[in-house]
Amino acid sequence: MDKSRIYTGTGDKGTTSLVGGQRVSKADQRIESYGTTDELNAFIGLLMTEVEGQSELDFLRFVQHKLFTIGSYLATDQENTTLKIESKVTPESIERIEKEIDRIDHDLPKMKNFLLPGGSCSAALAHVCRTVCRRAEREIYRLAENNPVEEPVLIFINRLSDYLFVLSRKECIKNNGEEIIWDYTCS
């Protein structure tokens, strides 16, 4: 089997193809949505190089697969192309992320203050992922202003940022021993 070429030249004029072949501007909101989701997926891959624990790594791999699913969903203009079943976010995926949040949060101390990102490399990376996730969520909501976006996609992305927050807390405590509390008196 011959290797496919990485470069095609078809995007040299500022357009790209959606699932189904429709060409749109690289500045299109749909591209912003799935591009930011892809960026989040890359950061999660980086986070995985710092997180220890097979259950966390397995769950983060599940998240990466779901983000790829969401990217495929967002790259499909459903007015012109039929959405493939593989591109759907299911209620079971949302339930799985909620269970993982509850599992991690159960062992964390009650929050009494705002926390600063950091404390360890893995905790800081989880916070970077959380903030990119929030940006992806905003981009998807911008897309939803003019295009249909199914509610499970929005819920999953919202829950994912919650998961990344509790993971950052867990990683900070595990590696640093304590969380960094915001000093609101700092002047």
Residue ranges per structural domain of the chain: 23-176
Mean pLDDT of 10-18: 59
- The residue-averaged pLDDT of 106-122 equals 83
Where is 175: in which H helix or E strand?
Answer: helix 151-176
**Where are any strands of DSSP class E within the chain?**
15-17, 23-25
CATH architecture of 23-176: Up-down Bundle (1.20)
Residue range 132-171, pLDDT digits in tens: 999 999 999 999 999 989 999 999 999 999 999 999 999 9
What secondary structure letter does DSSP report for 88? Answer: P
Q: pTM for this structure? A: 0.86
